[in-house]
Chains A and B, each alone.
Chain A
């Protein structure tokens, strides 16, 4: 049944083509940025610094992948930034610098992420609350709960074992120099995401985002598919929190603004807000492109304060482009 729906339109993951959801534009932007970086700071492209750049970018790429599942199904998840912060603060307090608590806490964080995603998903699909209200509510709940629980300042500490994922690397690797653990985590999870999108689930997810009514009539349980998308987003946030907490240590702003970063990355990667178009690879490349753009801005001495401005402009532009295309497409019908 679901394959039938998927077959109605060529899947975006198959071939890069110049249309909404295609990979070509993002690959082109990425290539241009790489050339600009190479001109300004050739050292940046040397294996060691490139590897550490990829390692540092791993959390936002994972968040973009998580956000992709939700957006392509026609919803939004604004709660991931606060979820990341909550996870880091909870991890620090529970681990309290005791290495033996690392693994239980890692499992707990993954469960915490999944439960937040489940709640987001069920409220959105079963109670029919629009997802940007649901997840905005979740955002505020998590911010408030963390503040209340910690009195406004983080307590405890993360163990070195915990921080290893976000901070350490395999050293002395031939050619590459060093390979950050975060990069390996990213590669494994990115592969899983691609496999998932090529399986029946991925086709169903896109069908649900493209036209939930048709999907419903074809026998797809739309609410279940969307809820799973939210759970995947929550899990991605949990992994990102483990990497980010590892990278920078206990922080009350570990996740501040990450929801925008992820959503910007997703739309930059050619995924249409509103659902149904775009690939998970595009979303992840979008995140990589955004990080590269920020690195380039840094090399040119552009103030970090402009990052949110750039993100806002990208979101507006992407929505405008997709809205124009959609209206022209509707005209054709």
Chain B
């Protein structure tokens, strides 16, 4: 056994440059793989951060159509509903189109009760409540634009025309890493009153209702009960769990996600090509040695293990190094992307998949050389010239 380990280590280090290059190739491929998986995860982050006890009610035609404010009380009276709040997508532009972040006009009194994962100081919360022009921003968003409490933030409306100015009254933190800290909230009343003054369309209209329910198990039943209330009215509703609502957005970009997933499979192909190439070369150069070993009485499996272990060592080292290098890369990528991906975290699942892939590539790359080395007759190997 000692001899075996010695041989494997010596073989691995025999071609320092080649081993180093192969390691580098695997490392980079693993890094790319981890990054791609994390991009896909980031897409689903919104859906994963949802609560099973929240439903979203929207207009059945599509999200573009609002619902009347008068639905609020009718939804509240549905059996099993604990609380209801509402929000409008504002869709404005801060300075220019590149600075995308979600802005919502919210019902300031209840919204933060129904979303306990947004942590807000009591003093900041009450300052926000008492200032109709007030706004709350997520920590990540405030950091991105260097906002401080008290700053005036101008946002140009696209759905609601004109330039709107808000005073930042508080900065919320997420309860954990998976909470979106890039949102911007302001008073729904502020929006509604301004529309009334201008006589603009959209008065007393709500984008979505967020419904808190007592028991998550009753979600389907309560959703149906809410929708039944408004059947055959001018604004029919569609109620679903918050998760289904968020997944709906993901599904719309499914084609892009599928493309990214296909590409992450191609990375594995590139890894395999580099690794298999190295192992094939190594085995070809050592034909003679394998023949000598066979002539000395070592079985074919000894040689198979020799090649396999060398391949595994290189690929798993590359895998581990690649995973380690992914963390700073992901950090830099998240910074570059700004608020486009509110949550960008490498999951443990991704790490395990990457490691398993690296090991799989190590085994896969050794298959062909092993098969050749095991099958080769001793005489032929001894006569071979490297």
Interaction A to B: no
